[in-house]
């Protein structure tokens, strides 16, 4: 079992029907009755964007953001109107609004520049740094790894015993670049 801890698996993109299940089943008690299909379709289309692919990481992020938006407005159920309001409020780019929220909470240009310069390659793919280096340059930022603003993760590569920090998905890295 210890060997499994050191392996990484690539998740393939989701199909529309898989995404629909991921949206509807866990949130069955949170989605307004009769709007399930329309909400799932709207969220799926927003996640696809120009790539026409559905990333599980991006789908999870968008669903979490919509949930926080709905709860923050004091609403009991996620409605199609709430989804549309959230997407309109982010001007069609929920990833940009996600980054804006993180930058505001980070409130430190030097830390953000370190993330941009060290965790994204020139061609817009994610890169990694040693966790110890990250902690030195971006201290007191656990919220970047957990909760509603999680955009980073710790990984241990087979070639190293020390954990590395990386962005959770290349799609996020592209938008950050």
DSSP string, 114-152: HHHHHHB-TTS-B-EEEHHHHHHHS-S-GGGTSGGG--E
Q: pLDDT for 11-30, tens place per residue?
A: 678 999 999 999 999 999 99
CA distance 63 to 72: 14
pLDDT at 1: 45
What is residue 13's predicted lDDT score, i.e. its pLDDT?
Answer: 86
Please report, in tens digits, the pLDDT of each residue of the chain (177 residues total): 445 555 555 667 899 999 999 999 999 999 999 999 999 999 999 998 777 889 888 898 899 999 999 999 999 999 999 999 999 987 768 888 888 888 889 889 999 999 999 999 998 899 999 999 999 999 999 999 988 888 999 998 877 788 999 998 887 887 776
Full DSSP string of 48-68: HTTTT-B-HHHHHHHHHHHHH
The β-bridge relationship of strands 152-155 and 128-130 is unpaired
């Amino acid at each position: 079992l210890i060997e499994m801890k050191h392996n990484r698996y690539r998740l393939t993109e989701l199909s529309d029907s898989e995404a629909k299940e991921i949206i509807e089943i866990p949130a069955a008690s949170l989605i307004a009755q009769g709007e399930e299909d329309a909400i799932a379709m709207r969220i799926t289309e927003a996640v696809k964007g120009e790539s026409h692919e559905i990333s599980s990481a991006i789908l999870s992020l968008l669903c979490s953001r919509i949930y926080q938006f709905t709860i923050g407005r004091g609403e009991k159920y996620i409605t199609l109107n709430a989804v549309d309001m959230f997407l309109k409020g982010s001007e069609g780019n929920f990833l940009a609004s996600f980054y804006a929220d993180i930058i505001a909470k980070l409130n430190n240009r030097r830390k953000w520049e370190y993330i941009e310069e060290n965790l994204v390659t020139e061609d817009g793919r994610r890169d990694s740094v040693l966790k110890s280096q990250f902690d030195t340059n971006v201290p007191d930022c656990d919220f970047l790894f957990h909760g509603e603003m999680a955009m980073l993760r710790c990984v241990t590569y087979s070639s190293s015993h020390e954990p590395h920090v990386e962005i959770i998905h290349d799609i996020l890295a592209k938008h950050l670049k």
